[in-house]
Chain A
Amino acid sequence: MSATALSLGVADPAPLLATGGAADGLRTAVRVLVEGLGKAAVYFTIAVGLTLVFGLMGVLNFAHGAVTMVGAYLGGLVLVLVVGSGTGTLATIGVFFAAMAIVFAVTTAAGSLIELKLIRPIYDRTPTYQILLTFGVSLIIEEVARIVLTLRGIQPDPQWQAPMGTAPDVLLGRTDFLGIAVRRLYLFEVLIGGVVLVAVWLFLTRTLYGLYIRAGSEDTEMVQALGIDVRRAFTVVFGVGTGLAAVGGVLLMWDPIWGPSVLLSIDVLLYAFVVVIIGGLGSFRGTVVAAGIVGIADSVTTWLFTTGVVTFSGLSEVTIFLLLVGMLIVRPQGLYGVEEVGGH
């Protein structure tokens, strides 16, 4: 997330400062809160897959960000192909959901394949090697993406503008929400984040594999001892985690702060790490709460910078990484993490 893109994502603060008064202060607070929730939804969506995979398998997936990047491009591709100038708003949003479903299906399959062919042979080694392997995979994905994009005549590093242009006008404007001008894109992100949250929660609580994950994040050995085929569970969960990473990418596609770019790969990875560590590695509830904390911290610090209270342009990034460091010092297992997990 570059500093130049940062300034795009926030509302013009000048009128808010000019008027003053308690009512305006309250309105600003609500606006910053809504923006924070929008950002939190994004952080949640890009981090939830990482925490699922870690919870069951103890694998910190360094290829997570690369998959998000691929998801952003694939989702963008679907929208650019289908949405024309005549497509209506509802139809466009329908295509957006269809793109999410398609991208989820494709990347879930790809993720399962990666688990099956590359990660499975090295479970018996120390966890370091799984980190290394997924990191290598992310390097390859990034470079292949660069090659494909260059061949198609698209610049890999700056954001790919075409899919961002397909965002319906409704989402780009502001809406009057209890007398506060709120960017509709944030509301849309909150909506999508909510959908993903409910879907993952249902997966965790209503399916067999969800049960395995919840059990596995408490005690993996016990799960194995109970005769559950953890190998198949690993494949499914790694696939689902990868698919969720890509769904996060589709969500980022319309957001001017992020947008499809190969640089997403490393940015998303670092922010997803912050969220899962603060929440507690492997804890779904922790990821929800941590995404909220990070999202609101992000919007508050961004607001502080744009109002000119603080003139330091890297404020929100520094705050987010300080949250990570602070949490690790005070409570290494995170908000809801299990103490032994991750301290290999």
Chain B
Amino acid sequence: MTLADYARDHAVHAAVVLVFFLYPPVNGALESSPLAAETAAFLPGITFMIAVLYMGLFAMSFDFVSGYTGYLSFGHAAFYGTGAYFVVLAANGQIPGIPGGTPFMITLLLGALLAALLALVIGSVSFRLTGVYFAMITLGFAQVIYELIRSWGYVSTNPQEGATIGGDGLAIGVPYVDALSLRVGRLTGTSVENLLGLGIDVSATVVSYYALGAVVLASYFAMQRILHSPFGRVMVAIRENEERARAVGYPTYRFKLAAFAISGFFGAVAGGIFAAYARSVSPDNSYFFLVTADALITTIIGGFGTLAGPLFGTAFHQWLEDVLSTESGGLATYIREGVPATVLETDVFGLSVELFVNTALAGRAPLYLGIVFVLFVLFVPNGILGTVRDRLGGTVGKRLPERLRRYRR
């Protein structure tokens, strides 16, 4: 295979990465243009894009096992939480054998390996079951860990509220080499002033975005590589017809366990980079059932059984959160500022328009997400990427260049 073939195969990947890469400067440029109000209202801010990265990776890891082997991992938050708590506790020097100053990249890896081990333990009993029972037993395990971590005084003085990282920002990059690592965190991250002498300042948030993005990209390619290997084909075979896969001679139980461990590993990586950026973790935003539910929703919207789909589903979810948020200039603020007061005070069925905007739009992302989710389940069951693939007759990376070439002739 020549380099040109390789480039063509990955053209779509490159395009997506480029869009993510160029997003902060473009968004920044728009914010200082005449379209500033519209940008603030309709384009997600960088903090929401960072959430796209870590939640997107978590949703991809969920899809890795659920979408490709067909076993719904309803307790997937257990791995996300393990990654997040491990990183936080390790940063505070609370994990025996790991000194306080250990580089983040190492603790991230160790946390992910621990989660993979946890997945092996949970999986070894859970994969004897199928269908609803598998979903329920994994949910049960995750809830047990959630309840334990909520009451475990070792984590912090108030375990229900979770734990916080003290000290410096955690660095993503080459361990022990300061020049090749970037600290992350809204306040504790590295910020670059006058980048390469070009007069461009890069804020700590934007630096965190790129650093987290690098981890997500590496994880995506690792998972994609596995799925395209013979191992990944066996995963799909298990989903399509497990009995036949077993009859052909594949030890399906071991394959499922391995897939679960890999998926737990990357779920923990997602949790780890989330904790490093947010610098705190609580039982409710890591181990709780609703964290798994978030991944489930975005996976269905993005495309169940398509690795990149969950990332796009998460992008949609976070866009919705941003547009309907109350803090950073969402749609509600835009309407309140852009629409004349007389309209705002108009009564519609006894409720003023302003009251309607405040209650039905501001902070109501879960409502619209739920509606979109139901509509997807009913009418677009294959999700965004799955449907696009059906239309093109293959993966986008393979079919799109061919289509474009056909038009060029």
Contact = CB atoms under 8 A, between A and B. Distances in A.
B130 A343 contact: yes
Given A321-B143, A325-B140, A328-B136, A140 B130 contact: no
A128 B72 contact: yes
A101 interface: no
B170 interface: no
Contacts of B144: 318, 321-322, 325
Contacts of B377: 122, 129, 132-133, 136
A274 B144 CA distance: 12
A321 B293 contact: no
Interface string B366-391: 11011101100110010000000000
B18 interface: no
Contact of B147 (A60, A143, A314): A314
Given A140-B367, A312-B151, A127 B132 contact: yes
Interface in A98-142: 118, 121-122, 125, 127-129, 131-133, 135-137, 139-140, 142
A342 B133 contact: yes
Given A151-B359, A313-B151, A139 B366 contact: yes
B115 interface: no
Contact of B140 (A133, A328, A343): A328
A142 B133 contact: no
Nearest to A277: B136
Nearest to B299: A132
A168 to B, nearest CB: 34
B270 interface: no
Contacts of A131: 72, 132, 135
B137 interface: yes
B164 interface: no
Q: Which of B129, B364, B378, B381 has the most CB of A within 10 A?
A: B378
B398 interface: no
- Interface SS, A side: helix
Contact of B300 (A132, A151, A277): A132
A133 B373 CA distance: 8
A325 to B, nearest CB: 4
Interface string B131-155: 1110111011101100110110000
Contacts of A151: 351, 355, 359
Contacts of A144: 367
A313 B366 CA distance: 31
A125 to B, nearest CB: 7
A329 interface: yes
A307 interface: no
Nearest to A137: B374
A325 B289 contact: no
A321 B128 CA distance: 19
A97 B360 CA distance: 34
Contacts of B297: 136, 139
Contacts of A125: 381
A247 interface: no
B98 interface: no
B290 interface: yes
Interface of B: 72, 125, 128-133, 135-137, 139-141, 143-144, 147-148, 150-151, 160, 289-290, 293, 296-297, 300, 351, 355, 359-360, 364, 366-367, 369-371, 373-374, 377-378, 381
12 contacts: A122-B377, A125-B381, A132-B296, A133-B377, A139-B366, A139-B373, A140-B371, A270-B139, A313-B151, A314-B147, A321-B140, A325-B141
Given A133-B378, A314-B148, 9 more contacts: A127-B132, A132-B377, A136-B297, A147-B360, A317-B143, A317-B147, A321-B144, A325-B144, A343-B132
4 closest residue pairs by CB, A with B: A139-B370, A143-B367, A344-B131, A314-B151
